[in-house]
Amino acid sequence: MEWSIQQIARLAGTTSRTLRHYGDVGLVVPSRVGENGYRYYDSAALVRLQRVLLLRELGLGIPAIADILTGQRDDTVALRAHLEWLTNEKQRLDRQLASVARTISDLERGEKPMADKMFDGFDHTIYKSEVEERWGSDSYATSDKCYTSMSQSEKDDFLLTAAELASDWAAAAERGVAVDRAEAQALAQRQCDWLVGIPGAPKSADGRPTRQYFTWLADSYVDDERFAVNYGGVIGATFVRDTMRVFADAHL
Amino acid sequence: MEWSIQQIARLAGTTSRTLRHYGDVGLVVPSRVGENGYRYYDSAALVRLQRVLLLRELGLGIPAIADILTGQRDDTVALRAHLEWLTNEKQRLDRQLASVARTISDLERGEKPMADKMFDGFDHTIYKSEVEERWGSDSYATSDKCYTSMSQSEKDDFLLTAAELASDWAAAAERGVAVDRAEAQALAQRQCDWLVGIPGAPKSADGRPTRQYFTWLADSYVDDERFAVNYGGVIGATFVRDTMRVFADAHL
DNA sequence: GCTTGACCTTGACGTAACGTCAACCTCTAG
DNA sequence: CTAGAGGTTGACGTTACGTCAAGGTCAAGC
C-alpha cells in the first residue's frame, strides 16, 4: 500500500508541508519518488511518521527525535532530559506569571513598579526589608515618601546622578590601580555627597552619612551581585569598596 | 549627560546589539547621532530603555511594548492580556509535562505508548475506560493481549488495514452522494470484516460484530472528533455513519 | 606622525519548525 | 481539451536578537 503526500498527511493528521520538511531534513523520507518527482509513502513510513508526530507533541525538537529514531539515544533517556527542560521552562513561566501579577497589582494601587528597576543597583533604599532591618523602620518610609513626591524630571536627575556615578566608578575600577588616589577619593566624595541627598540614609549630627552606613554600603557593593554588576562586577566593586573604606577612615 | 552605546548598555544591563536593534525598530532611538554615525543616549532614553527592559523581562513582545510606550494601550490592560497568554502557556506546558512523564513510565513498564497514537482514530479498543464501560471489562483486555502478541509486521498490517479503510471512507465521503450505493455498502462490508479480526469487538454467535456495537461505532465516528478527523471530518463521518447504519439494517 | 587597541558603523547570516505565497508541472475526470 | 485538484522546487516570514565580517573613528603611547 502506498499513499500520496496529501493522503498520508490526512491519515496522520498533519500537513503536506510538514512532510516535505521532514523529507528535507531526513527525518521521514518517502519510500519512493516517482519519475515526476511525486513522493509516495508506504506503511513503514507511516509508522515512522506516527512516532515522530507523537514525540513532537511531547515537545521534543527534530534533532532529538532524529537521535531517538536512529537509535543513537535511548528514548527514555532523551525523554528524561526533555522532562528536565520542561520543568525549567515551567519554573521560568511561573516566575514571569508572579512578576506580571505583582506588577499589575502595583500599577492598580498607583505605585510605580518602574522605579524599582531604575533604582536597582544604585540605591539601597529600595530594598525595603533589608534597609529597615538594619537602619530602622522609618528609613525606607522616609526615602520612599521623598521619592514619590519628586517631579518626573527630579526623579530622572536623581537616577541619573546615581547612574553617572556608577558609570564613573566602573570606568575607574577598570583602570584599577592605574587610577591615582586623588581621583579615586574624589569619586568617594561624590558618593558621599549623593548619600547626603538621600532622605533614607542614616546621617550623623553634621549631616554627613554615618560611617557605619557608608562602610555597610561599600561592603554591599561587593557582597550583593545586584549591585556589583553596576559597579564593574565583583572585581570592580572590590575596588570601589576599598576606596570608600579609605575615604570613610579619613573623613567620616 | 550623554552616554555612548556601550556605556548605556552596561548601565542598563544589556548589550549594544540590543540597543541597535531597538533603534532599528524604533523602540529606543538615540537622542543624538554624531556626524560619524555614533549613537548617543541621554537620560530620557535611559529611562525609556529601563521601562522597555522591565517589560521584556516580564515576557512582553516588542510590538506590545511599543504600544504601551506610545500610549496606544494602557499598561494594565496589556499586562492583563499578557497574563492570560502566560496562563495558557503554562497550561500547555503542564499538559506536556504530564504526557512526557506518563510516556516515560509506560516505556519503563515495557509498554509501547506509540501504539496508542497509531491506533488513534481507527480503533475504539484503545480507549480502555470507554470500551470497558460499554462492552464489558474484558473487552479491552482481550484486544490488548492480542495486539501485544502480534509481531511487528502483523501490527503494521493491522494498522494499515485500518488506515487504508479510513482513507477510502474519507475519499468516498468527499464525493458524497455521488458515490453509488453498492460502493458505499462494499466499504461498510470491509469495515465489518475488519471488526471480525478485532478480538475485543463484541460479536454475535455467527462471528459477525453485533448490531449494537456496529451502530455504536458508527455513531462514535461522528460524535467523537478524535475519529471524525480521520474519516473526512464531521461531514465525512456523517456519511460513513449513515452508510454503516444502512449496512447494519440489511446485514446484522 | 604612526601604531595599537578599544569602540563604533552597516550588512548579513543564523536561529526552530514549519506557514505561506509564487511559478510552474502533472494527473484525472467530464 | 480543459478545468481543477494536487504535485514540485524555491524562497521569504516568523522572534529578538547573537555572531561574525569588513571597515571607519578615537584616544593614548612611541
Backbone angles phi, psi at A33, to 5 degrees: -125, 120
In the predicted structure, residue A63 carries a pLDDT above the cut 70: yes
Instruction: Using DSSP bridges, classify how beta strands A3-4 and A32-33 pair: parallel, antiparallel or unpaired.
Output: unpaired
In the predicted structure, residue A96 carries a pLDDT above the cut 60: yes
The lowest-confidence range among A183-187, B152-156, B211-215 is B152-156
Mean pLDDT over A162-191 rounds to 65
Cβ-Cβ contacts under 8 Å, A151 against chain B: none
Rounded distance in angstroms from the CA atom of residue B18 to the C1' atom of nucleotide C12: 16
Q: Is A59 on the interface with B (CB under 8 A)?
A: yes
Q: Which of B239, B228, B243, B234 is nearest to B189 (CA)?
A: B243
A112-150 residue pLDDT tens: 665 555 555 555 555 555 666 666 655 555 555 555 555
- Whether ipTM exceeds 0.90: no
Distance from C-alpha of A27 to C-alpha of A14, rounded to nearest angstrom: 15
Rounded distance in angstroms from the CA atom of residue B71 to the C1' atom of nucleotide C15: 32
Radius of gyration for chain B, computed over Cα atoms and rounded to the nearest angstrom:
30
Of all residues in chain A, the one with the smallest CA distance to B104 is A76
In the predicted structure, residue A19 carries a pLDDT above the cut 60: yes
Among A75, A82, A164, the residue with its CB nearest the CB of B107 is A75
Strand, coil or helix: A71: coil
In the predicted structure, residue B119 carries a pLDDT above the cut 60: no
Q: Which of B50, B74, B114, B159 to mutate to test the interface with A (most CBs of A within 10 A)?
A: B50
Q: Is A104 on the interface with B (CB under 8 A)?
A: yes
Q: Is A61 on the interface with B (CB under 8 A)?
A: no
Could you tell me which residue, A64 or B215, shows the higher pLDDT? A64
Could you tell me which residue, A53 or A170, shows the higher pLDDT? A53
Distance from C-alpha of A127 to C-alpha of A144, rounded to nearest angstrom: 11
Mean pLDDT over B90-109 rounds to 92
Could you tell me which residue, A186 or A27, shows the higher pLDDT? A27
* Chain position carrying cell 543597583: A121
pLDDT of amino acid A120: 54
Rounded distance in angstroms from the CA atom of residue A11 to the C1' atom of nucleotide D9: 24
Could you tell me which residue, B196 or B149, shows the higher pLDDT? B196
Rounded distance in angstroms from the CA atom of residue B31 to the C1' atom of nucleotide C19: 39
CB atoms within 10 A of CB A24: 9
Cβ-Cβ contacts under 8 Å, B10 against chain A: 167, 170, 230
Residues 221-240 of B with CB under 8 A from A: 229-230
The alpha carbon of residue B206 is apart from the nearest alpha carbon of chain A, in Å, by: 31
Q: Which of A31, A40, A100 to mutate to test the interface with B (most CBs of B within 10 A)?
A: A100
Q: Report the largest interatomic distance among the alpha carbons of chain B, rounded to a whole angstrom.
A: 95
Residues 123-162 of B with CB under 8 A from A: 156-157, 159-160
Contact check, Cβ <8 Å, B160/A44 = no
State how far the alpha carbon of A125 is from the alpha carbons of A59, A202, B224, in Å: 44, 11, 61
Contact check, Cβ <8 Å, A107/B54 = no
The lowest-confidence range among A131-135, A209-213, B21-25, B71-75 is A131-135
Distance from C-alpha of A29 to C-alpha of A50, rounded to nearest angstrom: 13
CB atoms within 10 A of CB A126: 20
Domain with CATH 1.10.1660.10 in chain B: 3-69
**Sheet architecture: strand order including A39-41:** A3-4, A39-41, A32-33
Cβ-based contacts under 8 A for chains A and B: 131
**Band of residue B217 on the pLDDT scale cut at 50, 70, 90:** confident
Distance from C-alpha of B10 to C-alpha of A160, rounded to nearest angstrom: 14
Backbone angles phi, psi at B213, to 5 degrees: -65, -40
Q: Is A214 on the interface with B (CB under 8 A)?
A: no
DSSP codes joined into one string, B7-62: HHHHHHTS-HHHHHHHHHHTSS--SEE-TTS-EEE-HHHHHHHHHHHHHHHTT--H
B164-187 residue pLDDT tens: 666 666 666 655 555 566 667 777
Selecting from 1.10.1660.10, 2.40.50.140, 3.40.50.2300, 3.20.20.70, what CATH number does the domain B3-69 have? Answer: 1.10.1660.10
Mean pLDDT over B220-238 rounds to 66
Of all residues in chain A, the one with the smallest CA distance to B229 is A13
Long-range contacts of A216-223 (CB under 8 A, 24+ apart): A216/A134, A217/A124, A217/A244, A218/A244, A218/A245, A218/A248, A220/A124
The lowest-confidence range among B76-90, B135-149, B187-201 is B135-149
pLDDT of amino acid B177: 54
Name, in order, each residue with C-beta under 8 angstroms of B60's C-beta and a sequence gap of 6 or more. B68, B78, B79, B82
Contact check, Cβ <8 Å, B47/A108 = no
Question: Which of strand C's nucleotides are less than 7 A from any protein C-beta?
Answer: 7-10, 16-20, 25-27
Q: What is the distance of C-alpha B200 from the center of its chain?
A: 28
Instruction: Using DSSP bridges, classify how beta strands B32-33 and B39-41 pair: parallel, antiparallel or unpaired.
Output: antiparallel
Distance from C-alpha of A55 to C-alpha of A67, rounded to nearest angstrom: 12
Contact check, Cβ <8 Å, B166/A230 = no
Among B47, B100, B164, the residue with its CB nearest the CB of A118 is B47
Could you tell me which residue, A107 or B136, shows the higher pLDDT? A107
Contact check, Cβ <8 Å, B103/A44 = no
Cβ-Cβ contacts under 8 Å, A157 against chain B: 43
Q: Is B13 on the interface with A (CB under 8 A)?
A: yes
The alpha carbon of residue B202 is apart from the nearest alpha carbon of chain A, in Å, by: 26
Mean pLDDT over B80-101 rounds to 95
